[in-house]
Amino acid sequence: MRKSGTTVYLYELAWILPSIAIPVGMLAALTVTAFGAGMHLPSVAGRVSPTKVAQTAPFDQPGVVQVGPGRYEVRMTSQIWSYAPNEIRVPTGSTVTFIATSKDVVHGLFVPGANVNAMLLPGQITRVTARFDKAGEYPLLCHEYCGIAHHTMWARVIVEPRS
């Protein structure tokens, strides 16, 4: 049995159209998330000798520093199985930049509910910025498997209402 030319054409069209629509849709989603929602891959913000993290500024003094009105910097180290600092307090409406690295193995830096999702690699400085508009307590979790007590590695961000 011979199919008519029109049927073959329709079958072809049914395959061709999705093969164009799918990549176009993906490109659109990528553009919207990158430029609309401000989601970017965290870039390398510098390098640090992994064996000298504790002696290298700013990681020799881990903590939260106010760097401007409503702007904070968290200078953070990660090590098995903790973060320093392990509690970060900022007022609502703060823009917080995490400047972090690892002293030993690969760790994660993940704050659900905020735009923070990065890897902390030994020898590399990670810089990621997020805005905290809603008061509350946000967990800060290691989401890269880093050994036997990986699941106990966490800290918290406490966003306090402005008085």
CB of 50 to ligand CUA, least distance (A): 15
Report CA torsion sign: 60, 65, 71, 76.
positive
Q: Which is nearer to ligand CUA, 116 or 142 (CB)?
A: 142
**CB distance 146 to 107 below 8 Å:** yes
Q: Which is nearer to ligand CUA, 42 or 108 (CB)?
A: 108
Look at residues 43, 48, 42, 60 and name the one whose alpha carbon lies nearest to residue 122.
48
Q: Which is nearer to ligand CUA, 74 or 159 (CB)?
A: 74
Look at residues 91, 73, 75 and name the one whose alpha carbon lies nearest to residue 83.
75
Contact set with ligand CUA (CB under 6 A):
81, 107-108, 142, 144-146, 150, 153
CB of 38 to ligand CUA, least distance (A): 26
Other beta carbons within 10 angstroms of residue 42's beta carbon come to 18
Residue 106: both structure tokens together: 């690969």
CB of 155 to ligand CUA, least distance (A): 11
Q: Which is nearer to ligand CUA, 153 or 159 (CB)?
A: 153
